[in-house]
Amino acid sequence: MPKSELVVPSAATPGASGCVVEVTPASAGWRYVGFQAYRLKPGERLESETGSDECCLVLLSGKADIRTSAQRWDDVGERMSVFEPKPPYSAYVPSGDRFGVEALTEVELAVCRAPGKGTYPARLIVPADVGVEIRGQGLTERIVRNILPEGEPADSLLVVEVYTPGGHWSSYPPHKHDEDRLPDESLLEETYYHRIEPAHGFAVQRVYTDDRSLDETITVRDGDVVLVPRGYHPVGAPAGYDVYYLNVMAGPVRTWKFHNDPDHEWIMQGWSRPVAAGGKNGGDSR
């Protein structure tokens, strides 16, 4: 896949709806994951039907009123930047529903989509509901916030955010989840929505397969979305530039079972902190 097809750049100016970047299954050439990021000014509103998708609305920054057909949550939000050391507020909205978001301050909102079955009702996900953990050791250490992990109810979606300090690596050692061969590995499409601090910096993401039929090293700018249709996908944060990304994953089975690149798995041998089980080899490399 050419590099241009792996990166969806953010618009410099929001569109009429406030959208700055959008990925659909049709535009990505896959089946499950959809993603939009919006920037709203105070008083601006976003209205949408969920249709056949379930949605996770992640209030990346700012405060807003959020409603669905049966629920309303007022004055939601706490952090004013994705780089503040706290989890976000989010809302789960099932398929066959609708949602409205009205910005009370400047708002950055992510809308994560995947096929739904209408199994679970709409609910607010507050920061206390978000599991926070440190993964990796040394220059692979990063902070992971599990917004909608597989232990929480949803039909398809898995949503997580990661903060990687400058000079560190994440999604490391490199791992993949592109084969439907449970219980060892699950097939999951994935998007990475990147933010960089300071914003004029960059990150590096490599996406590659064992046979190198896909092997791209990408310069990631602030606001870019990187598509991971298959293969390993580590991220590097250059010295001086902190990197945030929001991951959206979905596939035929809602479970995250990954396979580490055997060439690089040795990096975990010297880690003193226990690593969480999650893949074939027991290492947790988000």
Q: Kindly report, residue by residue over 229-258, the tens digit of the pLDDT.
A: 999 999 999 999 999 999 999 999 999 999
Which residues of the chain carry a pLDDT beneath 50? 1-3, 274-283
At 4 the pLDDT is 64
At 2 the pLDDT is 45
At 279 the pLDDT is 32
Taking alpha carbons only, the member of 156, 141, 164, 175 closest to residue 270 is 141
At 284 the pLDDT is 52
- Six-digit token string for 274: 């226990």
CA dist., res. 99 & res. 105, Å (int): 18
CB within 8 A of 127, min separation 6: which ones? Answer: 78, 86, 87, 88, 89
Consecutive H or E run containing 28: helix 25-28
CB within 8 A of 281, min separation 6: which ones? Answer: 259, 260, 265
CA dist., res. 166 & res. 196, Å (int): 10
At 15 the pLDDT is 87
